[in-house]
Structure formats: structure tokens, C-alpha cells
Amino acid sequence: MNIITCIKQVPASSKVEVDPETGVLIRDGNNVKMNPYDLYALETAYQVKSMSEECRIHSVTMGPPSAKSVLEEALYMGSDEATLISDRRFAGADVLATAYTLSQLIEHIHDYELIICGKQTTDGDTAQVGPEIAEFLSIPHVPYVKEIIDVKDKTILVRSAYDDYDELVEVAFPCLITVEKGLNVPRLPSYKRRIEKQDYKIKTVTMRNLKDKNPDNYGLNGSPTQVDEIFPPTKRTDSIKIEGSSDELSKSIVEILQESRFL
Amino acid sequence: MGYIKINQEKITKEIAQELIDVCPFNAFDYIDSNLSVNSGCKICKICVKKGPVGTCELVEEKKEKIDKTKYKGIVVYIEQRNNIAHRVSWELIGKAKELALKTKEPVYAVVVGNNVSKIAEEALRFGVDKIYVYEDDIYEDFNVEIYTNVLSEFYDKHQVNIILFGGTAQGRSFAPRVAARLKTGLTADCTMLDITDEGDLLQIRPAFGGNIMAKINTPNHRPQLATIRYKMFNEPELITPNGEIVHEDSTNIKKETSIKLLETYEKPQVSDISDAEIIIALGRAFKKKKDLDLIEPLRKRLNAELACTRPLIENGWFDARKQIGLSGRTVKPKLIINLGISGAVQFIEGMKESELIISVNNDEHNKLFDISHYSIHGDIFEVLPKLNDLLDQIL
């Protein structure tokens, strides 16, 4: 069996602000890390591998050349292969263009039965890329997987968490699943794997390697949505700030609650 | 549409550094005296606006414009389960009617299921002009492949302008599938919707995982799609129905699927914080489970529901349904008291419509203070014991 895991590099800190005067984004440092949900996607792949014979895991990411570091992390955790898809023509890609690019990469890789993605990323928080990749590949997807029940020859049995209920579904390969945080305990990258993989060269794929080479379908050109403006969240102008000793503060809270008739 | 072009003759080492510093996405590479843009670029145009003058420009590529007059109607997808509509659907009808006043379009609903005539009648009472009904035995349970075929057929036939989906677990799996099928844009978890001067749907949501909001639109694709969380908008007033129920023929819509639903497990009911009138919300300042005892007197006194931020769910202290925020539940109680919450935009967008917001935090630059009616600057572990003493004294 061949498994593809889609992973992403995200900002390590969520402390991003916009300067109200200049409109410039201010990021707290340039630190990056692997999207936390993707660690669970990788661990899921390694566990499926341990349940089935002859299984290979191929981790892929889309991003600038520096995004290779998340692929290295995946290799040191347990992935067999890793591919970066990178091209300046992918700049400005929204969900549709990102999912389309990744689906083209997956078609380029060609051999796969199962694709595993994290439920969402911590920078976009949309949870849309996984389902859209599946649609572009015309394969089924199962979101929010919280447990892999069984892996059979031609199908996989999973339990998914919806708002007020869980579903147990059996889905035929090839298919895509997105996994919840916490369905397993992701392993750490190991020194042993690092030594094993030290001569491995991460593959890089650009638009020229893809079947669809039309630049209109990638990056900003291939993105139906457009960000017009970014702005800081609105503030209350009537906000009352209360300072003082904890005695005074607790008294104020009681007064506010009494005034508004909650006490 | 287009790309960022760098005027290389103006690039010096210093200017390159200036541009690298101004870019929030690390999208510039300066190698061998050559500055290039890598695929991290989000075309936010900050380098054009704020970088050294004349070094970067946005090269726009002309694209054929679609004829927007051909697309009419704002549609709400009615999510149903066991023939009961999710109430977010009614909230979206309310918003659709507001938008339609500006665009002068009809408001439609579409529902897929088996025996959903009651839902269709209900939708008319909420004021839609038409509800399109797709019924078949096979539509009894939601199936993302089969339902996508239905919505795609619906769009092909009716060429509507906007489709709104509830941002439920099901909606967030279904809407992207529809968007990719129709090759159009989709904005997740919008917190505000409006119409732009050009007549497009203005979609507002938090962006880049930080404390910023983005205005997003879909200028040259139809339909325009968005998901919106439950409790973000209000349900409209009920009216005397004057709309029409349209039964659609689904004979020719493909019904094959490779997803087999074997079983459904209902989660045990927990009191839903979405409907709570008084909430005490706890954040990561609570380090030990024992700390939770501190809030018990206040909770009892106010008869409040407890809710929390994501870290406390991850600790396993609370059921995931107690999480407030865009990735949890949206709440609009009469009173919310936030204790030790740092105020990520995710959380704030999930509770800012509350009628009275009181926040206690020892960090005075905490973002939650910006939207609170009362910002109490103090340490919860000092304030709460005093507060509990006071509560003992008053009857």
C-alpha cells in the first residue's frame, strides 16, 4: 500500500498583528514549525504502515524552498519519501488553487491508495484543502477521523467525530482522510532515522513537471478569492478598565453584577 | 490577478534587506545580488505599498470578465439530519434576506433528504421566495459524494449568485467539495457578510492565524460560497408564507458512492453553551484542575454554564463542545465572564456579540480587553478568593 501525507509549514507564533497606521503586518519573529495537526496525520500513516504489509509513506508539502524542513522532520519521524512542490507561479494561491496544485502533484506521484491530511492548519484554519484535493482527484474523503478501526485490502474502516455524533464508515481505496488532533501520540523525529536518511535527497517538483502546465490554474491567477484588505479587529470604545487591589477589583465585579441584576 | 515584479536595477543590498523586512511572509530571497520572490508570496502588496518606492510593482494580467448579470439568487443550503433542519440554516436565511435587499435578488433555499416536506414549509415561514427540494430514499443520510452531485446539478440548472452553508462539521466537509466541483472560491467561517460596491459578496473572517481580519471577495467567479458558524447571525422573524416549494427531479443525478455509513453514535447530550444565558469562560491561566474549584461559588451563584478555550479541551478537562471560538462554539449570552483568557482572535470572534462582557486578566495588553465592557486588570488567583468571600457575605 502507498500512503501520501500532505503536511504544511506554519508560523510558530499566532502573534500576528496589523499596524493600524501603516497597514503593515507585524509578525512576532519568523519562526516556523510543522502544522500541529499534521503530526497526527503522519503518526496515523506510520500506524497504518505497521498494520499492513509493504507500505510506503510519501510526505508532500507545498511552499517556498525553506519548507523543506518540515519534510526532513517527516523523514526523521518515519516517512519513506518526501517531495516539495514549489514554484513562484504558485504565489498567492487560495484554497482552490492550493488544493488543485496538490492534486496535480498527487497525480504526478500517481501511486497511492490512501491520502492523509491533518484536519486543518493553524494559520488558515479553514479545514477545506483536504476535501478539495479529494474532489479534484475524484476520490471520496472522510473528515475528522478520530480512530482507525481496521485496514482491509480494499477499504479502510474509520470513526469520525461530527458535532453531536460520531460516524463509523467504510471507505474504498483510493481515498483521503483528514485526522483529528489527539487520535494518537505522534512520535518524535529520531536520531536513528536521521542517520538512515542522511543521503536521501528530497525531490522538488515545479509547475513544469505537472500534467497541467497552464499558469492560469495556479497561484493568484487560479484563485477565485481575493483578499482586499486586512484590518485589526474592532475595539470597543466604551470599554471600562478597572485597576486596583484584588479587594477593590472583586468589589467592582460584585457591583457590576449587582447593577446589571445578575446578583 | 498577476504577480509581483521586481525592478532589479533599483535593488541594492540595503533595499533588498528593507524589502525582506517589510514582507510578513518571508517571500523574498536575496542570492548573488539578485532579489527574487518565492512561492511564499501571498500578493498582499505590502512591498508595493510600503517598500522603497518603485522597487516592486504588481503586474496585472488581464482576464476575461464574466457576465455577472447571468447569475441570480442568494441560496441557503438547509442542513438537515433525521429530517430536522439545523438552526444555523434559519440564521443564514435571515442574513440572505438582508443581503438581498442590497442586491435586489430573490432568496432561495435548497434541501436534500427523504421526507423533508416539513422542513420546506418551515423554510417558507422564515421567508424564502422558493425552496428547492431534492428527495430520494438514498438521500436519507448525508453522503458527501452523493450530496455534491445534487448541489452541482442544482447550480447547473439555476445559475445562482451566492450559496451559504452552515459552518457545522458536516457543512465544513461538504462546502469545499462543492466549491472544488464548481471550481469557485469558498471562504470558511465568515464572521460578517456584506455586499461590495461592485455588487460582490464581501466575506470577512480572521486571517493568517493571527489577530487580524481580512476582507475577501470573489470578483470573477460564480457562485460565491461561504460557510458561517452557528449563532453568528440572528434568526429572522417568522412570516405568513408566500414562497413556493419546488420539487426537483433527481432521477438523473448520480447516486454511486464508495463511502458506506455503517453506524452512527449519538454523543451523550451536554448542555449546549450556544444556548446559555450566562457563561463563565476559562483560559489557559488555569494550570491545575484543582484551580477550577475557585470558580465554583461564582458559577453556582450565577447559575452559569462553564466554557473554555482550546488548551483546556486539550488537557482533557472539558468536553470539546464546551470550547468557545471559531473552531468551537459561537456564543451570545446575556453575560460572559472571561477568566485568564489571552484573547486569541479565534476566541474573540466566537463570543464578541455577548451582551455584557467582563474579563479578568493580569496582562493589561490582553486583546480581550479591547472588546470587553469591563476589563478587570488583576490576577485571577488573587481576585477570585476575595470575590468568593464577598459572595459569602451578600445574600
Give B 146-165 residues with CB within 8 A of chain A: 148
**What is the least distance, in Å, from the CA of A80 to any CA of chain B?**
25
Q: Is the Cβ of B44 closer than 8 Å to some Cβ of chain A?
A: yes
Q: State which residue of chain A sits closest to B375, comparing Cα positions.
A: A241
* Chain A interface mutation, best of B334, B376, B380, highest count of A Cβ atoms under 10 Å: B376
Q: Which residue has the cell 464572521?
A: B191
d(CA B357, CA B334): 9
The total of other beta-carbon atoms located within 10 Å of residue A236's CB is 14
Mind giving me the DSSP string for A133-170? HHHHTT--EEEEEEEEEEE-SSEEEEEEE-SSEEEEEE
- Interchain contact, B383 vs A246, CB within 8 Å: yes
Q: Is the Cβ of B24 closer than 8 Å to some Cβ of chain A?
A: yes
Whether the pLDDT of residue A29 is over 60: the answer is no
**What is the least distance, in Å, from the CA of A102 to any CA of chain B?**
13
d(CA A215, CA B223): 23
A&B contacts, CB < 8 Å? 332
The CATH number corresponding to A2-217 among 3.40.50.620, 2.102.10.10, 3.40.630.30, 2.60.40.640 equals: 3.40.50.620
Q: State which residue of chain A sits closest to B346, comparing Cα positions.
A: A125
- Interchain contact, A252 vs B376, CB within 8 Å: yes
* Chain B interface mutation, best of A19, A40, A135, highest count of B Cβ atoms under 10 Å: A135
**What is the least distance, in Å, from the CA of A178 to any CA of chain B?**
10
A183-241: pLDDT as tens digits: 999 999 999 999 999 999 999 999 999 999 999 999 989 999 988 887 877 777 888 99
Strand A141-151 and strand A175-179: the pairing is parallel
Which of B337, B339, B342 minimizes the C-alpha distance to B382?
A: B339
Q: Which three cell numbers stand for residue B348?
A: 474573540
d(CA B278, CA B355): 10
Give B 324-343 residues with CB within 8 A of chain A: 326-327, 335
A72-117: pLDDT as tens digits: 999 999 999 999 999 989 988 999 999 999 999 999 999 999 999 9
Whole-number Cα distances in Å, B135 to A138, B102, B150: 24, 32, 10
**What is the least distance, in Å, from the CA of A39 to any CA of chain B?**
15
- Residue B296 DSSP code: H
Non-local (6+) Cβ contacts of B296 within 8 A are none
Strand A226-231 and strand B28-31: the pairing is unpaired
If 0-12 CB within 10 Å is exposed, 13-18 middle and 19+ buried, where does residue A238 land? exposed
Mind giving me the DSSP string for A205-249? E-GGGSS---GGGSTTTT-S-EEEEEEPPP--SS-EEE-S-HHHH
Strand partners, A33: A10
- Interchain contact, A233 vs B176, CB within 8 Å: no
- Interchain contact, A263 vs B24, CB within 8 Å: no
Report chain B residues whose CB lies below 8 A from the CB of A249. Answer: 360, 376-378, 383, 386
395 residues of chain B, pLDDT tens digit each: 567 889 988 899 999 998 888 887 778 888 888 898 887 787 878 888 888 988 999 887 777 899 999 999 999 999 999 999 999 999 999 999 999 999 999 999 999 999 999 999 999 999 999 999 999 999 999 999 999 999 999 999 999 999 999 999 999 999 999 999 999 999 999 999 999 999 999 999 987 665 678 899 999 999 999 999 998 899 999 999 999 999 999 999 999 999 999 999 998 887 789 889 999 999 999 999 999 999 999 999 999 999 999 889 888 899 888 999 987 888 999 999 999 998 888 899 899 989 999 999 999 888 899 999 999 999 999 999 999 999 988 86
Report chain A residues whose CB lies below 8 A from the CB of B186. Answer: 95-96, 128, 225
Residues making up chain B, counted from first to last:
395
Q: Is the Cβ of B40 closer than 8 Å to some Cβ of chain A?
A: yes
d(CA A76, CA A169): 32
Q: Which residue has the cell 461592485?
A: B198
Give B 94-123 residues with CB within 8 A of chain A: none
Our measurement of the distance from residue A14's CA atom to the centroid of its chain's CA atoms, rounded to an integer in Å, reads 15
pLDDT at A24: 61
- Which residue among B180, B211, B386 sits closest to A132, beta carbon to beta carbon? B180
d(CA B54, CA A124): 31
* Chain B interface mutation, best of A13, A15, A16, A68, highest count of B Cβ atoms under 10 Å: A16
d(CA B203, CA A226): 10
Whole-number Cα distances in Å, B38 to A29, B4, B43: 19, 10, 11
pLDDT at B37: 87
Strand A226-231 and strand B212-217: the pairing is antiparallel
**Residue range A247-252: average pLDDT?**
93
- Which residue among B22, B212, B349 sits closest to A16, beta carbon to beta carbon? B212
pLDDT at A25: 63
d(CA B178, CA A50): 35
Q: Is the Cβ of B346 closer than 8 Å to some Cβ of chain A?
A: yes
pLDDT at B168: 95
Report chain A residues whose CB lies below 8 A from the CB of B377. Answer: 241-243, 249
Using DSSP's 3-state secondary structure scheme, residue B311 falls into helix
A165 against B33, higher pLDDT: A165
Q: Is the Cβ of B192 closer than 8 Å to some Cβ of chain A?
A: no
- Interchain contact, A253 vs B371, CB within 8 Å: no
Report chain B residues whose CB lies below 8 A from the CB of A162. Answer: 168-170
pLDDT at A16: 67
Q: State which residue of chain A sits closest to B208, comparing Cα positions.
A: A123
Strand A81-85 and strand A155-161: the pairing is unpaired
Using DSSP's 3-state secondary structure scheme, residue A14 falls into coil
pLDDT at B210: 55
One-letter amino acid at B299 equals: R
Non-local (6+) Cβ contacts of A213 within 8 A are A207
Q: State which residue of chain B sits closest to A21, comparing Cα positions.
A: B50
Q: What is the ipTM metric for this complex?
A: 0.92
Confidence grade of residue A52 (pLDDT, cut at 50, 70, 90) = confident
- The percentage of residues in chain A with a pLDDT greater than 70, rounded to a whole number, is 94
Report chain B residues whose CB lies below 8 A from the CB of A22. Answer: 50
A223 torsion bin: left (phi>0), alpha (psi -120 to 50), beta (else): beta
- Interchain contact, A91 vs B37, CB within 8 Å: yes
**Domains of chain B, with CATH numbers?**
2-60 (3.30.70.20), 68-248 (3.40.50.620), 273-393 (3.40.50.1220)
**What is the least distance, in Å, from the CA of A77 to any CA of chain B?**
23
Q: Which residue has the cell 447530550?
A: B269
One-letter amino acid at B43 equals: I
Report chain B residues whose CB lies below 8 A from the CB of A98. Answer: none
Q: State which residue of chain A sits closest to B41, comparing Cα positions.
A: A91
Strand partners, A17: A26
**What is the least distance, in Å, from the CA of B215 to any CA of chain A?**
5
Report chain A residues whose CB lies below 8 A from the CB of B384. Answer: 250
**What is the least distance, in Å, from the CA of B33 to any CA of chain A?**
18
Q: Roughly how many angstroms between the first and final C-alpha of chain B, as a whole number?
A: 65
- Which residue among A23, A135, A260 sits closest to B181, beta carbon to beta carbon? A135
d(CA B379, CA B94): 41
Q: Roughly how many angstroms between the first and final C-alpha of chain A, as a whole number?
A: 63
If 0-12 CB within 10 Å is exposed, 13-18 middle and 19+ buried, where does residue B34 land? exposed
The continuous run of DSSP H or E covering A56 comes out as strand A56-62
The continuous run of DSSP H or E covering B369 comes out as helix B368-371
Whole-number Cα distances in Å, B89 to A189, A253, B126, B233, B354: 45, 38, 10, 10, 21
Cis bond before residue A174 (omega within 30° of 0):
yes
Contact A199, B39 (CB under 8 A): no
Report chain B residues whose CB lies below 8 A from the CB of A135. Answer: 148, 176-177, 180-181
Whole-number Cα distances in Å, B275 to B81, B299, B319, B334: 20, 16, 16, 10
